[in-house]
Amino acid sequence: MAMTCIGIGSNLGDREGHCREAIARMEQADCRILKVSTFFETNPWGLSDQPLFLNGALTMATSMPPAALFSLLKAIEKAMGRQETVRWGPRVIDLDILLYDDLILHSALLTIPHPCLHERRFALQPLAEIAPDARHPVFDKTVRELLEGVQ
């Protein structure tokens, strides 16, 4: 089983309800949720003129390979009503693979670890709560160390 870290966010409607529904949908698939962080209200990143986000993270074990997990997360987003609009725009739900074991992957479909994880407090803060010693395989730093370096 692979140990994975998933980022969760929402800034439309019942933000916490959407995040919890996404977690329940992951549990119904081949995902064993291990820990779920507190949800934090955060400012939007990349496009500031939109509602505040509620962000969290979870750790889970899965036998799905990365591409299948990515497809599952995108299917959950779509089933929950996420529509592609402007980049970094408002969304009902956003699910991102942050870490997948110690895998480093660059493909046309997917980059693991998430390419902006080390820059995003909204992803690092909840992840540091549940997996502070998880190691970023590119930078060889823990999540805690990455969080300390983010403004």
Report strand pairing: 31-36 vs 53-62.
antiparallel
CATH number at residue 16: 3.30.70.560
Say which of 32, 82, 87, 120 is annotated catalytic: 82
Dihedral sign computed on CA atoms, order 76, 56, 117, 13:
positive
pLDDT in tens, 10-60: 999 999 999 999 999 999 997 999 999 999 998 887 777 788 999 999 999
Answer yes or no: 94 catalytic: yes
Tell me if 29 sits within 8 A of 87, measured CB to CB. Answer: no
> What are the beta bridge partners of residue 56?
8
**14 noted as active-site residue:** no
Q: Is 101 a catalytic residue?
A: no
Q: Look up the pTM and report it.
A: 0.93
Catalytic residue among 87, 94, 120, 121: 94
| Residues 81-98 pLDDT 10s | 877 776 666 889 999 999
Considering 15, 25, 91, 120, which one is annotated as catalytic? Answer: 91
* Segment 87-129, tens digit of pLDDT: 666 889 999 999 999 999 999 989 999 999 999 999 999 999 9
Instruction: Tally the domains of the chain.
Output: 1
By residue range, what is the domain housing residue 109? 2-148
Please tell me the distance from the alpha carbon of residue 28 to that of residue 131, in angstroms, as a whole number: 23
State the catalytic residue, choosing from 96, 133, 140, 144: 96
Of 110, 94, 100, residue with least CA distance to 136: 100
Is pLDDT of 3 > 90? yes
Active site residue 20: no
